[in-house]
Structure 1
Amino acid sequence: MKRIIIAALPCLLASQAQAFTQDTHKRIVVDAVAYMQAHPDTTQYGRLVQYASQAGLTVDQLAERLGQGAYDVDDFEDTYLCGAVTGDCVRAPLWGTLSSIVSYSSYWHFQNHTQGPDAHGNDFGGYNYDKLTVWGDVDNLAASWLKGDHLDDGPGGKGGWFGDDSEYNSYGLTEAHYRQGSTSNYGMYQDFETMPFQPIDNLAQYWYGRYLANHSVDALGFSLHSTDLLQPHHTWTTSALNHSGWESWVRDYYDSEQLASDNLVTAALDDFDSIAVDEDDIRPLLTQGGSLSYSQGGLVLNSKDHNERVMVGRIVVPHAIAMVVKVLNHAMQR
């Protein structure tokens, strides 16, 4: 099966993407810090200045570092899928160099609002090919390519017909980190086409917990990759349906269409609840962001019209920035 479809894969998968481009992820975080600087009376900007100083950074340097953290999550080498026959474990598909997919790590970056609770007990699950309600060519071809492949569970774990070539133990490390109070068993991860990946809010919560433990700038930046929740493809949950074209459009028109204008961010902040100072769990806020992109962004899955993309972009981008401001406000109080 894999050899038969390999010739067709580059053409279709050249358009696959991992949500907002990495540059856009970084820009959203930098713009959130700039918004706080412009509105010190309504944000925790004063504490942000103190935090930057304690880290030996200027505010601009802190914004750059936090933004880089949000950018870097797409490059994590933490998720390996292993061949059902060969047993070889790899972090990206053979056609990955021909597409904008970074690695299999991107499958942790979804929160499926088309379904209810998942097999783990999360209120919304992550990517699960078997549970998709919207999908396209990329989803189908990836599932065909990875049919029967399993998540790397370390040396001595599940192998292929010809051995066990474990590289990382993605189940024992990555999945365990992103479990965040839900339940799991390895049987869930033995066939890609039915794998219930943990949702991105659990990823963000894991890294935010690391921030709370040691006030790490990098961990806080990693948690801010959660702006994927404002990318509609990641709440409708599909790797296809204009996914790449939309993310490229956001990057290209971010400034000229004023997607991050100050007044839009101010209005967006009113749509989010603040996190109580003594609360450690930021996931309810993040799920609010996911619910908003799901309710407002379905149009971009089916339309390439510029004006329609502007309409959606001027909703989801300022809300992504506002969500980061809310998280940073909470973080600075902790």
Structure 2
Amino acid sequence: MKIQLLLCALTLASTGAQAFSQETHKRIVIDAVNYMAQNPSTTQYAKLQAYALSHGMSVTQLAEVMGQAAYDVDDFEDTFFCGAITGDCVQAPLWGAAESIVKYTSYWHFQNHTQGADAHGNDFGGYNYDKLTVWGTIDNMAATWLKGDYLDDGKGGETGWFSADDSEYDSYGITEKNYRIDSHSTYRMYDDFEEMPFQPIDNLGQYWYQSYLQNGNPQILGFVFHTTDLLQPHHTWTTSDLNHAGWESWVKDYYDQENLNNLSLVKQAMASFSAPDAANKDIRPLLTQGGAYSYSQGGIVLNSEDHYDRVTTARQVIPHAIAMVVHMLNHAMVAR
């Protein structure tokens, strides 16, 4: 069965599931800083300038650092799945060698608005194959390929057959624990991939935001901005398939040509968010607003490759992604 799946995977590899491309993530952050520079009276741009200076950078350099950090989150080496039989633990599927495919860490980058609360007690859960309401071949292929595979728990005791275990990283004790904010987990939730209730991306964002508040590191603040995945409809409808990669590539290719970062549209989008109060250190309500928007406005790109449909959706979700980053930056400049 796995040989057949491998042949299928080699054909489908170019449709591997990311959200916005890494370059798009970076552009969104840079455009958010540009918006602040052009609207200093209605944003915390002066504080952003001071923050950049305190780290020996210009605002342009700061935008580059934070944008690159948002880009880098897809490259995290923090999530390993281990073979149900072999106990061999890897951070990407075997067929990922054929093409550039996201690592397993990307399964933390969803917020499922087609379902309610999850097994952890989050208001919206993350990726969980068993709970998907829309899915495609890639979702099915991953669940079949990884059937029974378990999340690396270090020396936690889970193994393959005959106690075989080649642990590489305690993904349950580190990564899942980091993203378990205000929720609860047991390891049994993660001992079979096809039923794993991954923590949602807003918890990822909150973890890194708390880390930023503690140390003020601009790279760590940049990690938070990968949460613009919430404006990618596939990550709120929740599927690794259904034109996922094609939409990602289209947005990257037409970002400038279709003026998707039009700052007048960003200004309109700013008003659609309820900005968190500086005294409230939890930015997850803001992030969930972004997820609710993409879920309500962007579903057509799961089923249509029409250029007009994509332009219409992109001119909604990209300005809202930029606006969400502006709101996070405004908050970050006054919350420490």
TM-score for the superposition, normalised by structure 2: 0.98
1:274-293 alpha-carbon deviations (Å, 9 max, x no partner):
11011110000000000000
Task: Indicate the residue corresponding to 1:209 in structure 2.
Answer: 210
Task: Tell me how far apart the structure 1 counterparts of residues 48 and 17 of structure 2 sit (CA, whole Å).
Answer: 33
Task: Indicate the residue corresponding to 1:242 in structure 2.
Answer: 243
Structural RMSD (CA): 0.8
Contact 1:155 1:164 in 2 (8 A): no
Instruction: Give 1:156 deviation, angstroms.
Output: 4.8
Contact 1:44 1:329 in 2 (8 A): yes
Task: Tell me how far apart the structure 2 counterparts of residues 189 and 16 of structure 1 sit (CA, whole Å).
Answer: 22
Q: How does 1:98-247 map to 2 (within 5 A)?
A: 98-162=98-162, 163-247=164-248
Contact 2:17 2:245 in 1 (8 A): yes
After TM superposition, which residue ranges in structure 1, 4 or more long, deviate above 2 angstroms? 97-101
Task: Indicate the residue corresponding to 2:11 in structure 1.
Answer: 11
Task: Indicate the residue corresponding to 2:262 in structure 1.
Answer: 261
Task: Tell me how far apart the structure 2 counterparts of residues 114 and 102 of structure 1 sit (CA, whole Å).
Answer: 23
Instruction: Give 1:99 deviation, angstroms.
Output: 3.7
Task: Tell me how far apart the structure 2 counterparts of residues 100 and 268 of structure 1 sit (CA, whole Å).
Answer: 33
Contact 1:18 1:102 in 2 (8 A): yes
1:191-240 alpha-carbon deviations (Å, 9 max, x no partner):
00000000000000000000011111111000110000000000000000
Task: Tell me how far apart the structure 1 counterparts of residues 188 and 62 of structure 2 sit (CA, whole Å).
Answer: 42
Task: Tell me how far apart the structure 1 counterparts of residues 177 and 13 of structure 2 sit (CA, whole Å).
Answer: 29
How many residues are paired up? 334
**Which amino acid in 2 is paired with 1:245?**
G
Task: Tell me how far apart the structure 2 counterparts of residues 8 and 138 of structure 1 sit (CA, whole Å).
Answer: 10
Task: Indicate the residue corresponding to 1:307 in structure 2.
Answer: 308
**Which amino acid in 2 is paired with 1:318?**
P
Instruction: Give 1:181 deviation, angstroms.
Output: 1.0
Query: What residue ranges of structure 2 are gaps of 5+ in the alignment?
Result: none
Contact 2:80 2:152 in 1 (8 A): yes
Contact 2:237 2:295 in 1 (8 A): yes
Task: Tell me how far apart the structure 2 counterparts of residues 157 and 269 of structure 1 sit (CA, whole Å).
Answer: 48
Instruction: Give 1:164 deviation, angstroms.
Output: 1.1
Task: Tell me how far apart the structure 1 counterparts of residues 66 and 97 of structure 2 sit (CA, whole Å).
Answer: 27
Contact 1:155 1:165 in 2 (8 A): no
Contact 1:9 1:95 in 2 (8 A): yes
Task: Indicate the residue corresponding to 1:36 in structure 2.
Answer: 36
**Which amino acid in 1 is paired with 2:272?**
D
Contact 1:108 1:203 in 2 (8 A): yes
Percent pairwise identity: 66
Contact 2:74 2:102 in 1 (8 A): yes
1:123-170 alpha-carbon deviations (Å, 9 max, x no partner):
000000000000000000011100000000002520101411110100
**Which amino acid in 1 is paired with 2:149?**
D
Query: What residue ranges of structure 1 are gaps of 5+ in the alignment?
Result: none
Task: Tell me how far apart the structure 1 counterparts of residues 150 and 96 of structure 2 sit (CA, whole Å).
Answer: 18
